[in-house]
Amino acid sequence: MNLDQLVETAKAMVAPGKGILAADESTATIRSRFDAIGVESTPDTRRDYRELLFRSEKAMQDHISGVILYDETIRQFARDGSRLVEIIKSHGSIPGIKVDMGPREMPFFPGERVTDGLDNLRDRLRDYYVHGARFAKWRAVIDIDARRPSAGSVKANAHALARYAAMCQEENIVPIVEPEVLMDLDHDINRCFEVTEYVLKMTFQALYEMRVQLEGIVLKPNMVIAGRKCKTQASVDEVAEKTVQCLKNTVPSTVTGIAFLSGGQSDVAATAHLNAMNAMHALPWNLTFSYGRALQAAPQKAWAGKDENIPAAQAAFYKRAHMNGLASLGQWKEELEA
């Protein structure tokens, strides 16, 4: 393990004004998103779409520090024969890779899941390093309601995250540690705070036990927010205040940076919440974004599978990247969305 290299990469991933593009949708996930815009999902259409993002020069150079890729994408070539990884690197962005195999139901824990993917992970990491990946991502899914999560499911996911992170660092790959408390149901913001605080405490305990070097990771948590079905939705300022307090309670200052997931928030809400946190607080970590849908929904709709729409799609992508870049500095204003 080269800790200096890991720290340098982690710092670059959360550089001021920049954030991470999560372009690691599975084949099934991107198929559903293409269905929504009337585009058939094939290796070529998936390549074409991602290529238009990676060739968005101004967005990539100015606001995208890294790109999380799917296994298919890290091996793909652009229409002109260039490797997609090399296009990303040409803009100064860092290629990364999703390495988990998705959540699976836990035996004896009804309605709770643990993420698979530790088998053969070391060998896969070595292969991905050769293909250009310098960071990785593993997502743990934490289901939440009045009963869930159980201690058993939280500890199982924290343990898997920590084992993954240790193997990444062994192979000189920065691990993105992503424990996501979902926002799908009707829990209120206080229940989200309670569960997120517990999940983060258990995650960092597991990381400590696995001897993971915290200055060589990037944390990718959910924001503390009410479930989308909750009748009472918190204000932007309340989300910011509770999220920051939760992080202060749980995240060691040695962690280099925090790149939030959007978790199904609207484009503007994800930007506003990030901006409020950075505008209101001086914090020991850089706070930025690691968004998928919140960066991509607008360019996908503008593209609609047509080459003649590529400039419009790239303009839409630049706008979302620019808005979130400003939010990572606490400089975004709602009137800029017009």
Q: Which residues pair with 289 in a beta bridge?
A: 260
Calpha distance 141→39 (Å, rounded): 29
- What is the model's pLDDT at position 129? 98
In the prediction, which pLDDT does 201 show? 98
Task: Tell me the two tokens of residue 149.
Answer: 């999560």
> How far is Cα 275 from Cα 32, in angstroms, rounded to an integer?
30
> In which band, very low, low, confident or very high, does the pLDDT at 338 lie, cut at 50, 70 and 90?
confident
Each residue's pLDDT tens digit, 219-264: 999 999 998 988 999 999 999 999 999 999 999 999 999 999 998 8
pLDDT, tens digit, for every residue of 288-302?
999 999 999 999 999
For residues 95 and 258, what is the distance between their CA atoms, to the nearest angstrom?
18
Express each pLDDT in 268-284 by its tens digit.
999 999 999 999 878 99
Cβ-contact 217, 175 below 8 angstroms: yes
Question: In the prediction, which pLDDT does 124 show?
Answer: 98
Residue 127 burial (CB count, 10 A): 15
Confidence bin at 183 (pLDDT 50/70/90): confident
**What is the rounded distance in angstroms from the CA atom of residue 295 to the CA atom of residue 202?**
30
List the catalytic residues.
178, 220
- Of the CATH numbers 3.50.50.60, 3.90.420.10, 3.20.20.70, 3.20.20.80, which one belongs to the domain with range 3-330? 3.20.20.70
Question: What are 2-23's pLDDT values in tens digits?
Answer: 999 999 999 999 999 999 999 9
Q: How confident is the model at residue 185 (pLDDT cuts 50, 70, 90)?
A: confident
Query: Which residues, 6 or more positions from 1, have their beta carbon under 8 angstroms from its beta carbon?
Result: 169, 170, 172, 213
Range 312-322 average pLDDT:
97
Gyration radius (Cα) of the chain, Å: 19
Closest CA to 307 of 54, 53, 48, 55: 48
* Structure-block tokens of residue 137: 């991502």
CA distance 251 to 66: 22
Global pTM value: 0.95
pLDDT attached to residue 136 = 98
Residues above pLDDT 70, as percent of the chain: 100
**pLDDT tens string 19-71:** 999 999 999 999 999 999 999 999 999 999 999 999 999 999 999 999 999 99
What does the domain layout of the chain look like in residue ranges? 3-330
